[in-house]
């Protein structure tokens, strides 16, 4: 049975997709100059040192746009109707802090990397465990942890197993500053209110393809809008050509033939079902059978952007020298 080919969009669907593509590349441009989020692969562990005691909580959406994860949006729900929530996406309640990651790795230019200042974004179990560490130790400034990520796919990308190793003195922290970096700046926690400042409801509406309700401002969402939102769902069953054609009259069918430039002849005595069948056949010939859309929910590919950062070398050889 012929299904609707998936490689193009028209009308509202096309507009929605275009808005998402623009938003995704905009987001990438914005994130290019922003601090990196710490993450590690499944079944990996490494040492990190906290530069502050995490105390900044908020809700955040993580969206797959244009087939790519790594698009983060602050949820508006605390003060406004959040278009992303309306679209059926659930935010995560996160706790953020600033760390030095001691993970050693080699960048694409062959430079050895370590002691990188990064954002630490803890959600779910990772957040709970981090909160427990804070309750226990009051201040996490200078605290070194071995943090491990397990193999479960729903585990926070940071890992959620915290093993306390040591609290570094100020003098010891200084030894972790990579050469060429401003010491004061390096040891200063990030400005979270600035980094995660929410976008406007309008911008987020565009992103999820919801039109602003007519005659309504951001606060007043209409019933219709709420009903429209499920369309944004990624796994939405899309209307097949077969369904579409079934609802069309003779003139509309002819229009499809013209618009799609199909080589289908329509004769006077033909019944509409024959015309529909011929159109479907021509569409399949033109576009091929629809391929099954694959859902790749690999959490590991989430935040690959870390590889882009510039080379830097810590003054000490390894965090282990301080432990
Ligand atoms: Zn939201």
Task: Examine the pLDDT at 98 and tell me if it is beyond 80.
Answer: yes
Task: Examine the pLDDT at 54 and tell me if it is beyond 70.
Answer: yes
Distance CA 208, CA 65 (A): 10
Contact (CB, 8 A) for 311 and 107: yes
Q: What is the pLDDT of residue 242?
A: 82
pLDDT in tens, 101-128: 999 888 788 888 889 999 999 999 999 9
Consecutive H or E run containing 183: helix 183-187
Q: For 97-114, what is the HEC assignment?
A: EEEEECCCEECCCCCEEC
Distance CA 115, CA 118 (A): 9
Query: What is the CATH T-level fold of the domain 34-218+297-322, as seen in this structure?
Result: Replication Fork Single-Stranded DNA Binding Protein (3.90.198)
SS3 of residue 146 by DSSP: strand
Rounded distance from Cα 95 to ligand 1 centre (Å): 16
Rounded distance from Cα 17 to ligand 1 centre (Å): 20
Least confident of 72-76, 194-198, 276-280: 276-280
Assign residue 73 a region (left: φ > 0; alpha: ψ between -120 and 50; beta: otherwise).
beta
Q: What is the pLDDT of residue 207?
A: 84
Least confident of 57-66, 178-187, 301-310: 301-310
227 φ, ψ (degrees, to nearest 5) = -75, -25
Q: What is the pLDDT of residue 235?
A: 45
Cα end-to-end span (Å), the chain: 66
Rounded distance from Cα 30 to ligand 1 centre (Å): 20
Q: What is the pLDDT of residue 160?
A: 96
SS3 of residue 92 by DSSP: strand
Rounded distance from Cα 304 to ligand 1 centre (Å): 24
pLDDT in tens, 221-278: 333 333 333 333 444 456 778 888 888 888 888 888 888 888 888 887 888 888 888 8
Distance CA 17, CA 32 (A): 22
How large a percentage of the chain has pLDDT more than 90? Answer: 45
- Domain ranges in the chain? 34-218+297-322
pLDDT in tens, 123-139: 999 999 999 999 999 99
pLDDT in tens, 133-156: 999 999 999 999 999 999 998 899
């Amino acid at each position: 049975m012929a299904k609707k080919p998936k490689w193009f969009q028209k009308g509202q669907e096309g507009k929605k997709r275009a808005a998402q593509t623009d938003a995704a590349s905009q987001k990438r441009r914005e994130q290019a100059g922003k601090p990196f989020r710490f993450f590690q692969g499944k079944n990996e562990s490494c040492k990190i040192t906290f530069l502050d005691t995490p105390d900044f909580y908020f809700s955040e959406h993580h969206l797959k746009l244009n087939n790519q994860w790594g698009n983060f949006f602050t949820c508006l729900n605390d003060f406004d109707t959040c278009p992303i929530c309306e679209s059926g996406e659930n935010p995560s309640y996160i706790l953020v802090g600033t760390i030095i990651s001691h993970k050693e790795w080699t960048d694409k230019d062959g430079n050895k990397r370590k002691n990188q200042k990064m954002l630490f974004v803890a959600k779910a179990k990772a957040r709970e465990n981090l909160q427990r560490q804070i309750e226990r130790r009051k201040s996490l400034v200078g605290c070194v942890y071995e943090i491990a990520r397990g193999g479960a796919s729903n585990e926070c990308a940071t890992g959620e197993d915290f093993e306390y190793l040591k609290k570094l003195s100020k003098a010891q922290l200084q030894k972790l500053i990579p050469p060429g970096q401003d010491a004061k700046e390096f040891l200063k926690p990030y400005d979270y209110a600035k980094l995660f400042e929410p976008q406007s409801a309008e911008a987020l509406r565009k992103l999820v393809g919801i039109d602003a309700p007519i005659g309504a401002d951001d606060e007043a969402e209409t019933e219709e809008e709420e009903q429209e939102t499920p369309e944004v769902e990624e796994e939405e069953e899309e209307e097949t050509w077969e369904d579409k054609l079934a609802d069309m009259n003779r003139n509309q069918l002819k229009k499809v033939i013209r618009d799609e430039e199909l080589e289908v002849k329509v004769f006077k005595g033909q019944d509409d079902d024959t015309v529909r069948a011929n159109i479907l056949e021509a569409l399949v010939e033109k576009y091929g059978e629809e391929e099954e859309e694959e859902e790749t929910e690999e959490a590991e590919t989430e935040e690959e952007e870390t590889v882009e950062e510039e080379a830097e070398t810590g003054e000490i050889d390894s965090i282990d020298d301080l432990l």
